[in-house]
Structure 1
Amino acid sequence: MAKQKWVVSLLLIGSLIGVAGCSEKTVKENPKGENASVSNKPPEKQLQEPVKEEEQKPTVVNVIDPNTKTILKTFLPGELGFDTDKVTYQKEIEKFAKDLARGTETTPGYDQRMILDKIDSNGKIIKGKPKIILEETELVEKVMAASANGGDVEMPLYVTDSGYKPEDAAHLSEVVVATYTTRFNSGVIGRSKNIELSAQAINNVIVGTGDSFSFNTTVGPSDAAHGYQRAKEIVDKQLVDGIGGGICQTSSTLFNAVDQIGVSYIEKHHHSLSVGYVPAGRDATVSYGGPDFRFQNTKGVPFLIKTIYGKGTLTVEIRTSTAYQSLLANGN
């Protein structure tokens, strides 16, 4: 009987050990040696940051000086109404182009009249300045085209040098093809001095093929700082004292000389009163910053302006080389 109890006890102990062994398989030891239950839940999803949209950069148009490569003006077409009101936007660009070309009260423009070359007393050429034109319409068109996507726009500058060959200069005084003389009272010191100074300023000026001559640009300011004196001049049909009185005799003498070869006139004005040194209607009044006498050489060959100042007389000659004589003589 005792033996049967002992066998039953062994069976009970074995059963308990088996149960304990099975239960250990459900326990997992974590790295720290602690027991942890196995979870059937899926791992938590990682939080993702929202994707930021890339900021759109504004459209930019830069107007650049082609010589210095500097930026003269930056336009933001979007802010100026390019997409909403192109007419107003274009007017803004047109005003900018006009101010850039012609200048403002505080800033000089890019447009520049040609200052013609001269020949000095030793026969050497004194260089003037080329004509420079900023084409306003072309600049506006370029800026408008670039305003859609942005970009750089170079100013359309056109530079024109005098239309003669350097080797021609030495021969341009060979032949006189036109001449005109006027007279004045040499006893009137101030007026005589003004005629002399303005005549010196236009003496030996080379007018190349296609060149435009401007009396005011060539002579410059007829003020006291440049040696001009007080003399009678015509202002609003009255004779008044003014610095530089008498220079109109130089411009009128030049007109009557150059008119003989048949140039094209750009600008010419008459006095408000008759003058005694040329026939009626044959004068050309000038005033620095005001009325000018301008013409263009459309003869196809270059010529030289020569002035001869004497006691009471002023002569202007138009000269050229023997090779070009037939093309200038008699206004042909």
Structure 2
Amino acid sequence: MAKQNWVISLLVAVCLIGTGCTEQTAKEKEAKAAEIQQKIVKEKKLQEEKKLAETKKREEERKLEEARPVYVNIIDPNTKDKVKTFNTKDLGYITNPENYKVEIAKLTRELARGTESRPGYDKRMVLDKLDGNGQVIKGIPQTILDEEELAEKIMLASEKGGDVEIPLYINASGYKNEDAAHLDEVVIASYTTYFNSGVVGRTKNIELSAEAINNVILGTNDYFSFNTTVGPSDAGHGYQKAAEINYGKLVEGYGGGICQTSSTLYNAIDQLAVTYVEKHHHSLKVGYVPKGRDATVSYGGKDFRFQNTSGVPLILKAIVRNGSLTVEVRTSTAYQDQVKKGI
């Protein structure tokens, strides 16, 4: 009996010892799990703080980058001087890209065509001319600033900045030097108008303007401008007062009569396949050409301009006789059969 009780006591003790070990192991596991969870939470918090710091840093860098000026320099291709410098961000390159394009278009237009205070790079052609001895008096080539190309170059440089050279294209007169002496060989178009030679001022003005266009060479695809060719019709250039049409009224003004020269030229050149760039009618009917066949001009204002698309080089002849003005268009015998006539 005593032995049996001892065995039972031993079994109870063993059970009690086993139960205690089991409880201790569970508590250790719980503590370990809690510790791991705390580490995870802490690590997650550190990652979030790091991410937030990086985001903040990037935002600060972005703001600094936006605040940093980016300069574009517009360079004159001839002198290599800076003609314009601007901060792209001031013009809205980042904040308002559509408006930025508008501003760049405005800038290129002003550089090409000029402003009230500064001339532009575009230059009309001053055509070559023969003097009394048949020698060529050189004019000035046409200069064109390609506005679209300049705008594209500026857009490419707008992000990082830099120098942009102005794209200028220079076009010389479209004829060969050896042709000059032969361009007056054949008359291919002419027109004559009449005036009262007793009116001194008007006669003088017609003579001066006719002399200005006489012997002017029109190369293939050259542009002719009456105002550029004749120049100012004022007292300083020898012009006198005579009747002229101004806003529907007949008034006295310097250069009255030069429109007869421009209109006579128009009726002669119109017989060829030229392309008109600018042409205007008087506000009143004139008596020296049929209705609708006039071409009024005013230096600094309305002009008569056309391009020689007849296919061959030409020369103008303006002949003033007693009471008549004849404008002839001539070319060389070699080109006679190649001339494109007007419709």
User: How does the TM-score come out when normalised to structure 1?
Assistant: 0.81
Change (3 A) 1:331 1:91: closer
Which of 86, 89, 111 lines up with 1:100 in the alignment?
Answer: 111
Read off the aligned partner of 2:337 and give its amino acid letter.
S
> Counterparts of 1:239 and 1:165 in 2: how far apart (Å)?
45
Read off the aligned partner of 2:96 and give its amino acid letter.
D
CA deviations on 1:117-154 (whole Å, 9 max, x unpaired) are 00111111111111111111221111111011111100
Q: How do 1:41-190 residues align onto structure 2 when only pairs under 5 Å count?
A: 58-190=69-201
> Counterparts of 2:340 and 2:123 in 1: how far apart (Å)?
31
Q: Are positions 1:290 and 2:301 aligned together? A: yes
> Counterparts of 2:92 and 2:280 in 1: how far apart (Å)?
45
> Counterparts of 1:262 and 1:86 in 2: how far apart (Å)?
45
> Counterparts of 2:328 and 2:148 in 1: how far apart (Å)?
40
Specify the structure having the higher radius of gyration (Cα): 1
CA deviations on 1:86-128 (whole Å, 9 max, x unpaired) are 1222222222211111111111111111111001111111111
Is the contact made by 1:177 and 1:329 (CA closer than 8 Å) also made in structure 2?
no
Unaligned runs of 5+ in 2: 1-60
> Counterparts of 1:97 and 1:267 in 2: how far apart (Å)?
23
Q: Between the two proteins, what is the percent identity of the paired residues? A: 67
Change (3 A) 1:330 1:139: closer
> Counterparts of 2:71 and 2:136 in 1: how far apart (Å)?
46
Q: How do 1:212-231 residues align onto structure 2 when only pairs under 5 Å count?
A: 212-231=223-242
Change (3 A) 1:75 1:271: same
> Counterparts of 1:329 and 1:99 in 2: how far apart (Å)?
37
- The offset of 1:328, in angstroms, is 2.4
Match of 2:272 in 1: 261
* Structure showing the higher helix proportion among its residues: 2
> Counterparts of 1:281 and 1:79 in 2: how far apart (Å)?
52
Q: Are positions 1:193 and 2:204 aligned together? A: yes
> Counterparts of 2:230 and 2:155 in 1: how far apart (Å)?
40
Unaligned runs of 5+ in 1: 1-52
CA deviations on 1:147-194 (whole Å, 9 max, x unpaired) are 111111001111111110111001001111111111111110000000
Q: Give the superposed CA RMSD.
A: 1.7
> Counterparts of 1:211 and 1:263 in 2: how far apart (Å)?
10
Number of matched pairs: 279
User: How does the TM-score come out when normalised to structure 2?
Assistant: 0.78
Is the contact made by 2:310 and 2:341 (CA closer than 8 Å) also made in structure 1?
no
Match of 2:326 in 1: 315
- The offset of 1:319, in angstroms, is 0.6
Match of 2:26 in 1: none
